[in-house]
Amino acid sequence: MNSLGTRIRKLRKEQKLTLEALAGDRLTKGMLSQIENDKAKPSMESLDYIAERLGVKASELLEQVTPSSIRHLLEQVEILFAELKLGNTDNVQQIVEMIKPYVEDLSLSYEAGRLLYIYAAAQHHARLTTWELPLQQARFMFKEINLLSHWFETYILQVGILSGERKYKTAYSCILQAKEEADQENYQLDSRDDVKMAYYISVFQVAIGELEAGKQLINETITNAHKNQFYSYIDDMYRIGAFCAMIDHDFEQVEHMLKKLEQYRIFAEQVDVDAFIFGLRAHYYNSYTHDYQMALEEIERYGALMHEEGSIKLDKNFYYSEKGKSLYLLGQYEEAKEAFEHFTNVPPFILHPFDILGLNECFSYKALCYAHFGEFTTAYEIAKMAYMDSQDLIDLPYKQKIEETYYSIKAQINSVQ
């Protein structure tokens, strides 16, 4: 970390002062030069004088990390972090290296807490396993200075990371821990954070199989969101609610959720919401009502959005997975295979078991399509991948199709060996 002399010289140059100008009439240019080069230590009287002329407190000069340097670092890091949130990970290592030298010397402040939060997020993106400690430190700082929304955001980051690792039960315990602490300490979270808390609890309830509790909380949260006119996450709540209704074969509720989502679409005018609707309807028609032509029409509406800007979630894998499935079920095998060739993976931002299993079911249809053309080795590898990737997820109807396909193709291979 920088020495006292280095800090003085850095501040002097930032303010475009010469040695002579900073020395003024109470220090010599030579003495100030020695202080800046750590060849002499200033008396407290001289230190007070230097600090006054630099416009800072003497205590800041004595600190290894000054508030002004932390603010300046945060300004630089926020620019890089904004790109990281948009999916650009090119600067992730730079963020880690910029913050790392300061971590041990951060004092209690918003800027320090924010740096620790970004440091944890960047470490995770850099695939480092040391992200949890700085996140806990950030949480403590925000709690101590009563920035409760920022305190809560540390939990949101943590459950997001745990979801990416498919540790849904741990993520659920984590968000319940946040709620318990908020209730016990009587934290006054704003209405937006209350809705957000309920959203995450409900999402993880359905992710671990507590479907009835999750569905009830989703409905309550949607009602409260409308009451408080807070609409973030509401599109995803409608989407999860529609998924739950599909699984229950409650098609009246499916249509209700989709209608509400379409009403929200008019209000929001967001490409992501259109994508939710078209993708959901295609899945609904393919997997539940078996109206494959309608499914194809809906997925083509999704495909028309893929050239739009403003969304990182319009992934080609969604388009080609449901398109290939529709074409296969319509008996258009050549066209289905052509579409399936572009369906290669589950996008990295897909974290919920419902979505993962839905896409893995599409991989099963891809495997069946290759088997139709006698390409059993390729078909088996695809079916096995979908089967293995689904094993530890919640037991939903999709898993039955995935398992049936895997064992069917495996048996076909074994029969010809």
Find the mean pLDDT for residues 10-20: 91
Residue range 221-278, pLDDT digits in tens: 888 888 878 888 888 999 999 999 999 999 999 999 999 988 888 877 677 788 889 9
pLDDT at 275: 87
Asked if residue 411 belongs to a domain, the reply is: yes
Domain that holds residue 410: 345-417
Written as one letter, the residue type at 361 is E
Residue % of the chain over a pLDDT of 70: 96
| Inside any domain, residue 24 | yes
d(CA 407, CA 383): 9
Out of 64, 83, 106, a domain closes at: 64
Question: Does residue 409 lie within any of the structural domains?
Answer: yes
Q: Domain for residue 39, yes or no? A: yes
pLDDT band at 361 (very low <50, low <70, confident <90, very high): very high
**What would the pLDDT profile of 315-356 be if each residue is shown by its tens digit?**
899 999 999 999 999 999 999 999 999 999 999 889 999 999
Whether 397 maps to a domain, the answer reads: yes
**How much is the pLDDT for 107?**
84
Token pair for residue 365? 């249809």
HSE toward the beta carbon, residue 245, CA cutoff 13 A: 23
- Sort 323 into a burial class: Cβ within 10 Å, 0-12 / 13-18 / 19+: buried
- Over residues 125-137, the pLDDT tens digits come to 999 999 999 999 9
Last residue of a domain, one of 64, 96, 113: 64
pLDDT reported for residue 105: 78
More confident residue, 313 or 125: 125
Is residue 393 domain-resident? yes
Of 134, 132, 140, 131, nearest to 109 (Cα)?
Answer: 140
Domain at 60, CATH number: 1.10.260.40
Decide if 145 is inside a domain.
no
Count of domains for the chain? 2
Buried b vs exposed e over 19-33: b needs ≥16 C-beta within 10 Å? beebbeeebeeebbb
- Residue 395 in domain: yes
Write the DSSP assignment of 182-230 as a string of letters: HHHTT----HHHHHHHHHHHHHHHHHTT-HHHHHHHHHHHHHHHHHHT-
Domain boundary among 12, 39, 64: 64
